[in-house]
A and B are shown apart, each in its own frame.
Chain A
C-alpha cells in the first residue's frame, strides 16, 4: 500500500489547522462549562426567549448534516456516476456535522450532565424523543454505508446501505422540522410545511458545505474540479437555493392569508427590527438573490471563487433564516387573549428581546470548531478526496468535451 507523503509545508499547515480547530473547540468547551457552572443567567436567554444562538448553530449543523449526505445519495440511490467518488466525503461530513450540532445542543441543556437520561427515558409522543432514536440510527446507517464504500468485501451492499441512509435522513430531517411543526402554541410554527421545508433547506445548506470542503481539499492537493462537473454542481446548488425560497414564500403567503397570523407576519417581515433586517438583508438578499446571481450570471459563474462565494452566502443566509425563525418565533408574544391589550410582570404582550452573550457565541463557535477539527483529521486520515475518472464519465455521457 502506498503511503502518502506530505511535504513539510503541508505537515505544518495540517498542524496549524488542527491547532486552530482544537483551540476553538476548547474555547467552546470552556464556555459550556462556564454556562453549566453559573447557570443560564450568564446567557442572553430568558424565560421569554429561551432558545438562542446555540440552537441556531446546532440546528443548522444538524439540518445540514442530513443534506450533505445528499451528494452520496445522488450517486448511490439515483445512480449518477459523477457523484459516486464524492460519497465517502459526503458520508463523513454527515456524521461529523451531526456530531457537532448535537454537541452544541446537548451542552446548552440546563442539565447537560443528565444527557444519558435523554437516551434512557424516551417519551415517544415527543418529537425530541423521536430524535433520540433518529440521530443514533443515522450515525449507524451512515457508518455502515461508509463501510460498504471503503471495504471491497462489503461493496455489494453499498446500494442497500445508501438507500437506507437516504430514507433515514429524510425521516430525520422531517423530525427536525417537526420539532417546530408540531408546536401548536406559537404562530411562527404549527405548520406541516415545515417538515419538507427543512428537508429542502438541508439540501441547500449541506451542498454548500460540501462544495466548500471539496474546494478546500482540492486547493490543498493542487487540483481543479472538472469545469463540466463544477457546472453541474453549481446548477444543483442554485436549484436548491431557489427551492428553499419557494418554500419560504409559500410559508409566509399562507400565514399572511390567515387573519390570525397577519400580526405575526407584519412583525417578522416589516416591524420586528432585527428580524425583518435579517430576513430581507440576510436571507433574501445575501442568502438567496446574491448566490443565485453569482451562480447564473454568464460572466460571473465561470470565474474562480464564484461557487465558493455562493456557498458561503448560502450558509450565511441559512443562519439568518434560522435566527429569524427560531428567535423571532419566540420573541413574538403569545396571543392568549385575541382582541385584547395585555400587560403583566412577565412581559406578556411584549416583544421578547434577545442579545446573545459571549458564552453562547463561544459555545456556538466551539461546535463549528469541533466540526472543523474532525473534518481536518478525517480527510487526512481517510482517503476521501473525490477523484474523478473523467474518461469514464465522458464515456457515460455525464460530461461533454
Chain B
C-alpha cells in the first residue's frame, strides 16, 4: 500500500481514531457526523414543533371565544393584543400572523426537518452501510443554514408590523405589498428565511442523493434498500427539483416588496396567478416531501413489529417512485377556484385522482403486511398503525377536493384544514413519533419508557380525532379557514359550541404532548439501556452498537438479502439480518476486495 493509499484510508476512516480527541465544539456543535447532525435537527425541530403548537392554541382561543380576553394575553405586547380592563383581546392582524406562522413553522421548521433532516441524516448512511454522508461538511452547513433561517422567522414576531400575515402560501398581491396586510418587514423576513432554509434543504438533498447512489455497501443493491431509505431518496429528488422553483418565486416576491419590481403586482401589469403557479409547482411536491418519508418509516415499523416481510416490496418501491412522479403534474388542483380553463382543471383532477392508485397500493400492502402477523403492539407499532389509519382518512378526504365540483364548494373552508391535519398530523407526525420511538435506542443507547408512550399514544389518538374530525363538519357548514371572527356571520354563529369543543380538545392535546416530551428527556438520561438490536430487526443500523461510533461500521458490511426477511424458514430466529451469510456460504471476510474507490477527489 503506497503512502497515498494509506493516507486515503486514514482520511476515510480517520474518524475512528480521532473520536475521543474531538473538542466539545466539533463534537456537539459544528459536528460533521451524520448522527450528531440528525440529533441537532431533531432538537431544533422539536423546539419549533412546540412553538407551532403554542401558536395553534392561541388561534384556537380566538376561534372558541371570539374577541374575549385571552388568558395570559396581558403578557404579550400591544402590537398583538388590545388591552381592556378585563384582559387583552387578540388583534385581527396578530391572528393573521398566527395563521401564517403556524403553517410556516410546522411545515418548514418542524415536520420537514424532522422527516428529512432527522431521519434522512440518521437512517440513510446507517441503512446502506456507509460510514457517513458523501459530503459531511456540506451536511454541517445544511444544519447551520437552517438555524439562522429559524431565528429570522421567529424574530419577525418582534419587528414593527408583526410577522408575515398573508398565509403560509403568501398569495400575491396580498403578500406583495404591505399596504394590504400592514406587514412590511415581517413578510420580507419570511421570504429571506425561507430562501435560506431552501438552500439548506438543497444542500441536504444533493448530499442524500449522492450518498444513496454512490455509498452503498457491497451487496446493497437498489432492491435490497430498506423502504425508509428509498422514500428518503425519492424525497431528496423532489426537494432537489422543487425547492429551486420556490426559491426563484420567493426572490421575485422579495424584489416586488423591496426594490419594486412588478412580477406579481397587477397594478403595474404583473400576474398574481403566476405566484400561485410557481408556489404550487413547488407546493405539491412538498406535500409528498412531507409524507413519503413517513410512509417509509411506517413500512419499517409495521414489517418489523408484525414479524412478517413487507407485503409487495417491489410494488412499495414503485409506488414511492410513482407518487414522486405524479406529484409534479397535479399542482393545479390547489387552484380550481383561481380561474382556470375547465379543460385544464379536469386534467388536473384526473392526474390528482391517479395518485390514489399508488397510495392505495401502499395502504393495502401495509394491511397485508400486518394481516395474520405476529403483532407486537408496542408503542412504535401503535404509532405506525395510527399513521396508516389516519392517512387513509386524510387520503380519502383528499379525493373529495380533487374532484372539481366538490372542491368549488369546500374550497378554503375548514374541510381543507381538517384534510391537511389528517395527513400532516395524523399522517406525518404519528410516523415521526413511531420513528423517534423506534430509533431512539439507536440514537441514545436507551429505550423510551413504554408505559408513558402508551399513555401518550392513547391520549393523542383520541384527542387528535376530537380536534380534527369535527372540522370536516365545520367546513361543510361553510366556515371558512383563516377567519378571525366567524361569529360576525349569522349563519356561522351557531357553530361556536363546536368550535369551543375543538378548542378545549386542542388545549388537552397540546398538554398531552408533555407526556412524550417528559419521556423523551427522561429516557435520554434514565431510560433502560438498549442492546444493539432491541427490535430484532434485519437492517444494517441494528448490527452496530447503540449509539453507533463515529464511522458507524467497524468493517465494511456485506449484504446478502433484502431488509424484511422476518420469520424466514432459512433462519433459526424469526429475523434474518441482511448481513448474515446464507447457511451454505460462510463469511469469508478476507476475500472481500478492497472497496473500489473511484478517482480520488482532489478538491
Chain B binds chain A:
no
Q: Which residues of B are at the interface with A, using a C-beta cutoff of 8 A?
A: none
